Structure 1
Amino acid sequence: MNGILITWQQLLYVSLGLIVFYIAQLLFFLKRHGWSWPRHAGGPDNALRTEVVALRQEIERLKIRLAAQQVESVTSGAEPVAEVSEESPYAHAIRLARQGAEAAQVASVCGLSRGEVDLIIALYRKQGRR
């Protein structure tokens, strides 16, 4: 029989070559689609964390300044600055619905869609009437 004879060593080399080829193809695909290896501690992730910390500190300083201005305006007799509401639009809409406000008014004040406001009014006006 005069066929092609493949030894186990040749088969091993071909298999390793295919594995290397598929790994290279996988890495090329991942790089092409924006995936990258995890970065070290001094990379962009650390820069973003630093920026977030700086922004949080600036917000705290601005809150302190706003409170000082409100105290100053109250002591000087001027109209007080409107308080910053930390209430979510949904909580505000629920409060207005319980007070009996109309859907169009709630939608415009809270910045919610009419469907959301109709649902809130349907749910919370019934609760208030029980």
Structure 2
Amino acid sequence: MVSNSGIFITWPQLLYVGIVVLSFYVAELFFFWLRHGRKNKSSLHFEQLQEQMDELRQELASSKVKIAALAAQLHASNLVDDPVFPLPSHLNSIETLKTPADTPYAQAIRLAQKGADANELAATCGISRGEADLIVALYRSSSERN
């Protein structure tokens, strides 16, 4: 007698196995897509935070330039000892009120008013290129208005 002890798979059974394997790969693709989507959201959030930090750095540099310009105007107009506009007592000392020539921003403002470009300001005054660009932009626009 001949014995047929092999495993026989029918077409419907083969179809069911194919559907199970296909559904496994579809589920794996779905979870990969979800995981990849979450990484994109976190990197997008990180990029937004970087942009906000860059904007704050630019605002800080702009504020430094404006403060230096105001100090130069204050010193030039001799309002330091003016009784109408007294300064707070902690700002009245000579050590606190340095002359604007001592600050790199005041020196950069003077050079910008004389027509120096941003590269020259950055190299001469020891300030960043962004700050130099800002000073040139501010003082070029103020000289064009006058």
> TM exceeds 0.5?
no
State which structure, 1 or 2, has the greater radius of gyration over its C-alpha atoms: 2
Higher relative contact order (CA 8 A, sep 6+): 2
Please give the TM-score of this superposition, normalised by the length of structure 1.
0.36
Please give the TM-score of this superposition, normalised by the length of structure 2.
0.33
